[in-house]
Amino acid sequence: MAAPKNVSTYIATFPQPVQKVLKQVRSTIQKAVPKATEVISYSIPAYRLEGGTVIYFAGWKQHFSLYPANSRLVAAFKEDLAPYEVNNKGTIRFPLDEPVPRRLIASLAKFRAREVAAMAKQKTKAKASR
């Protein structure tokens, strides 16, 4: 199957109940990081800001996932993430049959946006010092 052209097309490939969940995830991320550009990367939705990818999401049969869950993010949200599966490959899995944790997703997206902005700032400083 070819990669979807945009996030709406990606979401439309899922059954209606999953589409509803993915639309909630999408709108939550868009509100949390309004300046981010919505793209398809690695065949899934992603949000970019200042040259870096803030967050990805993907739908599956039994869950949806957010990426990347690096060690700093996992440590910062340890208690909030406790009910969810977090693997060592940077994936957080949320069951489709539970309410979408919008507040948590917004916090994760904002955290990642700050990380991406800090990395962009470091790159700029490194270039300036050459």
pLDDT digits (tens, 9 = 90+) for 78-103: 999 999 999 988 999 999 999 999 99
- The reported pTM is 0.91
109-130 pLDDT, tens digit per residue, is 999 999 999 888 877 666 666 5
Could you give the CA distance from residue 123 to residue 20 in angstroms, rounded to a whole number? 38
> Does residue 15 register a pLDDT over 70?
yes
- What strand order describes the sheet that includes 44-49? 37-41, 44-49, 52-59, 63-67, 92-95, 85-86
120 contacts 53 by C-beta, under 8 angstroms: no
CATH of the domain at 120: 3.90.1150.200
Domain around 119: 7-128
Residue with the two structure tokens 């440590």: 75
Residue 2 domain-assigned (yes or no): no
Q: Which of 38, 64, 67, 43 is nearest to 55 (CA)?
A: 67
* Range 61-75 burial, b when 16+ CB lie within 10 A, else e: eebbbbbebeeebee
DSSP 64: E
Q: Which of 62, 57, 60 is nearest to 40 (CA)?
A: 57
Residue 23 domain-assigned (yes or no): yes
Domains of the chain: total: 1
Residue 1 domain-assigned (yes or no): no
